[in-house]
């Protein structure tokens, strides 16, 4: 009885303080989350150089909406969501710096809104800690200001799962809050499906099962409708260009090396040292210090599940854990290569259960042991941050150098007379073509979009050059073209038509 009276008095004081401050408590509770999101944006702008040129995949997505560069070949697995995301800037400006700043700010806003979807499901301290964990992973910081889809699938997943749980009553919403949660679940599903429709389906499987079991038909409509709206363009494009949805999925599988039983856990571990794409994924493992956090992550998540079960609030923890498993499964067990960004949706969904577990571990044991536990957790967090920022800096530096190499090759091509309108074929023709201002073409492989006859016909009208990588053999149709050496590349320029 006394505890109840005291709780009432404390709540009354808090309510009085909130009224006195003129700020509703729910908005005051959002300030720490906003601070995390703002810090996330700031760290991106400081550590990921805004002047870093566009990468290969960024070029493909961005070139679809630019007027100052020809559109690169858009292969079957890709979706148009990233192109829509960058269109407000890329459609009228060629400034990479402006695009980076825009995406950094947008990614911070996305993190804030995704965490707000979980208000009432976890304490504010867990939301802040989970947001900070996600925001300080090197892969999150590196890809936040880039025109890539995986971070946004993660933000959509976090939003969808949080709003789904609130709509089911886990956060005890009422009235407009229920309607808001339904709209939030639908919006998150749209975002996921716009970015990567297949990833969206994997994330949504546990949610759809849960909603069917609960027989919550409005929520089922919101989730299914969101997935349909977001993935609709991809499906329509499949029938318009690939002969149907099955054919596009089959082609996407071929480009990804054939989806099936492939254990890529070790490949993902190799990529943790900062390899953007590990294909083929050979070489030694990174230092154990670099991979330790990744190995401990599922262990800490399991602790979070146990904590939630004991506290009788299992739903808010087990559902995101289930969605994290389905989001990660295809990239750990069904694909023959790895990229660290593939697991970003899983990291986003694990963030809050992991944060909940860390708070429990920091306060575990008797009172006299709590300072020791808290100190150990603090040291582990400090070491984790040191590793993440070290990998981030190295990754940024390597990517800046590689993209500057593409720009240098482009300058040399301009000196050789290969200027827009023009066509590049062969080794890395997509990124070098973008930096040169040329179209790109390939007669084979995943980006096949032309034929030798078409290349020769084009060479009669505009400058055409073929690029051969180190150790490669120039194509037979370029035998009479003038050879040049640029860095470690052999460039053959077609004679004027």
The per-residue pLDDT for 497 is 73
For 380-397, what is the mean pLDDT? 94
For 147-156, what is the mean pLDDT? 98
pLDDT digits (tens, 9 = 90+) for 244-284: 999 999 999 999 888 889 999 999 999 999 999 998 888 88
What does the alpha-carbon distance between residue 430 and residue 59 come to, in Å, rounded to a whole number? 8
Place of tokens 């299992």: 314
Reading the block at residue 243, the tokens are 């002969």
The per-residue pLDDT for 10 is 36
Could you tell me which residue, 120 or 150, shows the higher pLDDT? Answer: 150
What does the alpha-carbon distance between residue 106 and residue 41 come to, in Å, rounded to a whole number? 8
Minimum mean pLDDT among 132-136, 177-181, 396-400: which range?
177-181
24 has pLDDT over 60 = no
pLDDT digits (tens, 9 = 90+) for 332-375: 999 999 999 999 999 999 999 999 999 988 875 556 667 777 78
Q: Residue 234's Cα: distance from chain center in Å?
A: 18
Q: Residue 16's Cα: distance from chain center in Å?
A: 42
Could you tell me which residue, 178 or 85, shows the higher pLDDT? Answer: 85
Helix (H, G, I), strand (E, B) or coil at 377: helix
Strand order in the sheet with 464-468: 439-441, 423-426, 464-468, 489-493, 482-486
The per-residue pLDDT for 29 is 65
79 has pLDDT over 90 = yes
The per-residue pLDDT for 160 is 98
pLDDT digits (tens, 9 = 90+) for 291-330: 999 999 999 999 999 989 988 889 999 999 999 999 999 9
- Band (pLDDT 50/70/90 cuts) for residue 15 is very low
For 251, residues 6+ apart whose C-beta sits below 8 A from its C-beta are 76, 242
The per-residue pLDDT for 17 is 42
For 175-182, what is the mean pLDDT? 81
For 94-103, what is the mean pLDDT? 97
In angstroms, what CA-CA distances link 22 with 9, 29, 30, 116, 119?
A: 20, 14, 15, 21, 20
pLDDT digits (tens, 9 = 90+) for 35-59: 999 999 999 999 998 999 999 999 9
The per-residue pLDDT for 170 is 77
The per-residue pLDDT for 329 is 97
Could you tell me which residue, 364 or 450, shows the higher pLDDT? Answer: 450
Q: What is the dihedral of CA 213, 217, 220, 224, to 10 degrees?
A: 140
Q: How big is the CA angle at 139 (ends 279 and 124), to the nearest 5 degrees?
A: 150
**What's the whole-model pTM score?**
0.92
Proportion of the chain above pLDDT 90, given as a percent: 81
2 has pLDDT over 80 = no
For 149-154, what is the mean pLDDT? 98
pLDDT digits (tens, 9 = 90+) for 194-237: 999 999 999 999 999 999 999 999 999 999 999 999 999 999 99
Mean pLDDT of the chain: 91
Task: Give me the residue spans of the domains in the chain.
Answer: 2-362, 399-493
- Band (pLDDT 50/70/90 cuts) for residue 131 is very high
For 171-180, what is the mean pLDDT? 67
Reading the block at residue 176, the tokens are 């407009």
What does the alpha-carbon distance between residue 262 and residue 474 come to, in Å, rounded to a whole number? 34
Q: How big is the CA angle at 275 (ends 491 and 298), to the nearest 5 degrees?
A: 160
HSE on the CB side for 31, CA within 13 Å? 6
């Amino acid at each position: 009885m006394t505890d109840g009276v005291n709780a009432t008095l404390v709540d009354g004081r808090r309510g009085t303080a909130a009224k006195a401050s003129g700020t509703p408590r729910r908005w005051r509770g959002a300030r720490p989350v906003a601070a995390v999101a703002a810090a996330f944006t700031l760290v991106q702008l400081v550590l990921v150089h805004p002047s870093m040129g566009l990468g290969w995949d960024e070029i493909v997505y961005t070139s679809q909406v630019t007027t100052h560069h020809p559109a690169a070949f858009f292969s079957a697995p890709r979706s148009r969501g990233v192109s829509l995301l960058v269109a407000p800037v890329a459609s009228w400006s060629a400034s990479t710096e402006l695009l980076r700043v825009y995406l950094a700010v947008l990614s911070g806003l996305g993190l804030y809104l995704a965490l707000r979807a979980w208000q009432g499901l976890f304490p504010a301290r867990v939301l802040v800690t989970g947001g900070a964990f996600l925001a300080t992973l090197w892969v999150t910081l590196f890809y936040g200001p880039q025109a890539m889809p995986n971070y946004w699938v993660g933000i959509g997943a976090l939003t969808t799962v949080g709003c789904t749980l609130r709509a089911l009553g886990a956060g005890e919403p009422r009235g407009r809050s229920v309607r808001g949660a339904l709209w939030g679940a639908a919006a998150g599903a749209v975002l996921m499906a716009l970015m990567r429709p297949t990833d969206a389906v994997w994330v949504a499987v546990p949610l759809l099962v849960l909603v069917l079991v609960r027989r919550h038909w409005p929520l089922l409509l919101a989730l299914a409708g969101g997935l349909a709206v977001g993935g609709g363009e991809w499906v329509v494009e499949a029938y318009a260009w690939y002969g149907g949805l099955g054919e596009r999925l089959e082609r996407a599988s071929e480009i990804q090396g054939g989806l099936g039983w492939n254990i890529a856990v070790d490949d993902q571990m190799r990529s943790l040292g900062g390899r953007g794409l590990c294909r083929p994924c050979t070489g030694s493992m990174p230092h154990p210090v670099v991979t330790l956090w990744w190995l401990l992550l599922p262990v800490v998540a399991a602790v979070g599940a146990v904590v939630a079960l004991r506290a009788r609030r299992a739903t808010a923890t087990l559902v995101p854990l289930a969605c994290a498993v389905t989001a990660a499964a295809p990239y750990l067990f069904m694909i023959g290569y790895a990229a660290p960004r593939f697991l970003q949706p899983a990291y986003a969904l694990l963030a809050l259960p992991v944060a909940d577990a860390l708070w429990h571990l920091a306060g575990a044991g008797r009172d006299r042991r709590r300072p020791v536990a808290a100190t150990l957790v603090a040291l582990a967090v400090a070491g984790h941050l040191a590793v993440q920022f070290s990998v981030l800096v190295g990754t940024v530096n390597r990517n800046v150098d590689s993209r500057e190499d593409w720009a240098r090759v482009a300058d040399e091509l301009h000196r050789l007379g290969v200027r827009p309108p023009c066509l590049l074929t062969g080794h890395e023709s997509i990124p070098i073509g973008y930096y040169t201002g040329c179209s790109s073409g390939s007669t084979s492989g995943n980006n096949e979009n032309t034929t030798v006859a078409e290349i020769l016909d084009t060479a009669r009208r505009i400058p055409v050059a073929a690029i051969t990588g180190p150790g490669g053999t120039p194509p037979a149709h370029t035998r009479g073209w003038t050879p040049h050496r640029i860095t470690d590349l052999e460039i053959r320029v077609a004679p004027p038509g």
